[in-house]
């Protein structure tokens, strides 16, 4: 089973630039073009939030138009830049999404790997949170299939990256989430976005991965007094490949056209 993981496109209304500088729509179009060229084709695409930048209806219209031709199963979870009702309306045809409240879900009919979405967004805030209700829901859902390899996708990571200006807006309640994961050892990965960088670390007895943004990269500045900044680094996506008996292997995949292929390895 091949699982493509994209995040944080920050789509804008037609004719507008992200932060007034970057054509995030064009960059997401390049990402979708790269996705369409993958061989073999992914079995499912995961989009871990900040689909749009300001939660505007005009932005969600762009998102709906761009994703309409993807031709692959798509699972989505909102981020802090998404507006929950607008997000729900944009993806109204995605019947796995709840009609009210948090947009948690569990999907198990796309292949051997089960995919669980945990909506950790707090409306009106940029940080995320795992409260008792969400942790209880996740614990119950995971306990229903304890032997099934599972991915949990969410937006804000429940860890500290070391980048001070993004860590102010991480997912709170990480200890609560880690305790749930420690009881459910079938979780192969926790998949996040938000940081606009690729990271991996141990968390709750499993691996946590953040996908880079398809638009900009938050600067890797690890001093506690670092000034916030971003760069136009090469965009990328992540591929998660499940096989037997190897299990899940994660690949970082730059987006674009590069010299090659050459006849050596």
Q: Which residues contact 20 (CB under 8 A, 6 or more apart)?
A: none
H/E stretch holding 46 reads strand 44-47
Angle 27-4-203 (CA atoms, 0-180°, nearest 5)? 110
User: What residue spans of 19-75 are helical by DSSP H?
Assistant: 24-36, 57-67
DSSP 125-161: -SSEE--HHHHHHHHHHHHTSTTS-EEEE-SS-SS--
Tens of pLDDT, residue by residue over 17-45, are 999 999 999 999 999 999 999 999 999 99
Of 249, 235, 146, 148, the residue nearest 197 (C-alpha): 235
Mean pLDDT of the chain: 97
- pLDDT (mean) for 123-128: 95
Share of the chain above pLDDT 70, in %: 100
- pLDDT (mean) for 229-234: 95
Tens of pLDDT, residue by residue over 50-59, are 999 999 999 9
DSSP 165-226: HHHTTSEE-HHHHHHHHHH-TTEEEEEE-SSSS-EEEEETTEEEEEPPPSS-EE----STTP
Termini Cα distance of the chain: 25
Whether the bond between 261 and the residue before it is cis, its omega within 30 degrees of 0, is yes
Tens of pLDDT, residue by residue over 109-123, are 999 999 999 999 999
CA dist 170 and 201 (Å) reads 15
Rounded to two decimals, what is the model's pTM? 0.96
Looking up tokens 């008996």 gives 245
Q: Phi and psi (nearest 5°) for 35? A: -60, -45
How many CB atoms sit inside 10 A of residue 182's CB? 13
Residue 245 pLDDT > 90: no
Domains and CATH numbers, the chain: 2-254 (3.60.21.10)
Per-residue model confidence (pLDDT) at position 247: 95
β-bridge partners, 75:
46
How many CB atoms sit inside 10 A of residue 239's CB? 16
CA dist 197 and 6 (Å) reads 11
Per-residue model confidence (pLDDT) at position 97: 96
How many angstroms from the chain centroid is the CA of residue 177? 17
Tens of pLDDT, residue by residue over 145-187, are 999 999 999 999 999 999 999 999 999 999 999 999 999 999 9
């Amino acid at each position: 089973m091949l699982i493509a993981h994209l995040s944080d496109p920050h789509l804008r209304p037609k004719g507008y630039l992200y932060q007034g500088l970057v054509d995030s729509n064009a960059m997401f179009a390049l990402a979708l073009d790269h996705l369409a060229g993958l061989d073999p084709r992914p079995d499912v695409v995961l989009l871990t939030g900040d689909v749009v930048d300001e939660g505007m209806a005009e932005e969600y219209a762009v998102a709906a138009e761009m994703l309409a031709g993807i031709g692959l199963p798509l699972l989505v979870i909102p981020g802090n830049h998404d507006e929950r009702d607008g997000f729900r309306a944009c993806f109204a045809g995605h019947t796995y999404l709840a009609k009210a409240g948090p947009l948690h879900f569990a999907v198990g009919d796309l292949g051997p790997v089960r995919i669980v979405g945990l909506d950790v967004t707090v409306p009106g805030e940029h940080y995320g949170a795992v409260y008792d209700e969400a942790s209880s829901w996740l614990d119950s859902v995971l306990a229903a299939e304890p032997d099934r390899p599972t991915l949990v996708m969410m937006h804000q990571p429940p860890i500290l990256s070391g980048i001070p200006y993004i860590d102010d807006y991480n997912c709170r309640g990480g200890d609560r989430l880690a305790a749930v994961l420690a009881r459910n050892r079938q979780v192969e990965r926790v998949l996040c976005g938000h940081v606009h960088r690729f990271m991996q670390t141990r968390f709750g007895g499993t691996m946590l991965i953040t996908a880079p943004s398809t638009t900009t990269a938050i600067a890797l500045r690890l001093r506690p007094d670092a000034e916030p900044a971003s760069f136009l680094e090469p965009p990328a996506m992540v591929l998660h490949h499940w096989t037997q008996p190897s299990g899940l292997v994660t690949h970082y995949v730059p987006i674009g056209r590069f010299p090659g292929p050459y006849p050596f390895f």
